[in-house]
Structure 1
Amino acid sequence: MHRLHQETWNVMNYQAAIFDMDGLLLDTERVCMRIFKEACEVQNLPFHEDVYLSIIGRNAAGIEVIFRKAYGDDLDRLHEEWRTRYNGVVKHQAIPVKEGVVELLEWLKEQGTPIAIATSTAKDVAKKKIELAGIDKYFDNLTTGCEVANGKPHPEIYQLAASRLNVEPQYCLAFEDSNNGVRAAVAAKMMTYQIPDLVQPCNEVRQFGHAILPSLHDVLAQLKTA
């Protein structure tokens, strides 16, 4: 069903565009992982890279469940160390914008396309990130993980973002980097583009038949010729 939907959508029918933020608009994931690794070292705890990569795209509740299994009672002090260090960076320094972001956002604005963000990040942090990066002016709304009961890979966050734009989900383009995010967007029946960041699409996700491209530059080129 997912495959059928993704192979048959007509990209010319879109009425809105919804973007993930971390790892898609902003080169956040490398910064976040580096800080988490530093926090592990300071707290004399192991850095489980496979566990870390599995949390990408999830909201705070989902991350808590996975990390609690890996770190047990040590998670509380590790999380506090990580959060303090991370907020010290992202609330005061601009995270680099990823390749092709500004060009695509400018073009969509020129077309009069409503644009939103659907991110698992908490609203205050997400707002600060896009402001510091200088891209907040492009977005008509910001929907975050703390506003939904079910985080990615559940489709709720994309459904809420679409409703705030007054556009049915099937007429929205969705842009994601992570497998969890793609699962959410495809489940919401959106026309989904994946631009992989730290994690490549797994076999299960590839079966969805959505578009997988190297950068948002490639997305823009495809949309212009659609």
Structure 2
Amino acid sequence: MSVSAAIFDMDGLLLDTERVCMSIFQQTCEAQGYPFLEPVYLSIIGCNAGGIERLLRQGYGPQLDYPKLRQAWRQRYHARVAESAIPIKPGVQALLTWLRQQGAPLAVATSSDRELAEVKLRLSGLAPLFDSVTTGCEVVHGKPHPEIYQLAARRLGVDPRHCLAFEDSNNGSRAAVAAGMITYQIPDLVQPDETTRALGHRVLPNLFAVLEELQQANGRVPLPA
């Protein structure tokens, strides 16, 4: 069976966002007198707003004034996003162009809220390539729950089992696999752990490698019956 649709995470997969966001988080912590706990930060990658709050509260403990930290972090990040485009990750343009040539509808499924997602996609020039955008504020359960991928597939009118999904994070990869999608993980800041690797999805170094694999298969992938 040929590819019916492709659904992409955004931050760390389409856009080189995670390093920018982590740097801004570190600056915000230092400005408010908190240590920068890198393992705690890395644990929130791929989570929606609710998951981020829960993990940061767990990691920093009761001394954390989360609303104050979040507001300052968000203000710094919004200012950065509004000023200039986030760089596009290697292979993005080539893969999206090829999938379009195959006639596959394309969607974004991101844990970011809609305002931020639309700004980042517009400034990057990628927005016109996607048929729909589904965001973390539109679902009850964030990644690794499959809800956001299920909703994105439903908006495209495609069975999730007939979708390719592309992710960088462990949380996102678990979500896509749980939705029944053929999942490619291209790690960014966090490498897949043993539990994630055990899911049996494809882990490749970059999107150029994904494109080469799909082209060699003539656009056909082993989708479930």
TM-score w.r.t. the length of structure 1 is 0.93
After TM superposition, the structure 1 = structure 2 runs for residues 55-204 of structure 1, keeping only pairs within 5 Å, are 55-71=44-60, 72=62, 73-204=64-195
How far residue 89 of structure 1 moved from its aligned partner, in angstroms, is 0.5
Deviations 1:33-71 (A, max 9, x none): 000000011111111111100000000011011112233
Q: Give the C-alpha shift of residue 112 in structure 1.
A: 1.0
Mapping 1:208-219, distance limit 5 Å: 208-219=199-210
In the alignment, structure 1 residue 25 sits paired with structure 2 residue 14 = yes
The corresponding residue for 1:6 is none
Instruction: Tell me, in whole angstroms, the C-alpha distance in 1 between the residues paired with 2:211 and 2:137.
Output: 30
Please list every run of 5 or more consecutive structure 2 residues that lacks an aligned counterpart in the other structure: 218-225
Cα distance in 2, alignment partners of residues 154 and 148 from structure 1: 10
Aligned partners of 2:124, 2:182: CA distance in 1, in Å?
Answer: 26
Matched AA of 2:20: V
1:36 and 2:25 equivalent? yes
Give the distance between the partners of 2:4 and 2:205, measured in 1 at CA: 24
- Work out whether residues 20 and 176 of structure 1, in 8 Å CA contact, stay in contact via their aligned partners in 2: yes
Distance in 1 between the 2:128 and 2:210 partners?
A: 21
Please report how far the alpha carbon of residue 169 of structure 1 lies from its aligned counterpart in structure 2 after TM superposition: 0.2
**Structure 1 gap ranges (5+):** 1-11
CA displacement at 1:216 relative to structure 2 = 0.4
RMSD across aligned C-alpha pairs, in angstroms?
A: 0.9
Which has more helix, going by share of residues?
1
- For residue 4 of structure 1, what is the aligned residue in structure 2? none
SS in 2 for 1:58: coil
> Residue 42 of structure 2 aligns to which amino acid in structure 1?
L
* Normalised TM-score (structure 2): 0.94
Percent identity (aligned): 60
Q: CA deviation at 1:77?
A: 1.9
* 1:114-139 residue CA offsets vs partner (Å, 9 max, x unmatched): 00000000001100000000011110
Contact 1:91-1:125 within 8 A present in 2 as well: no
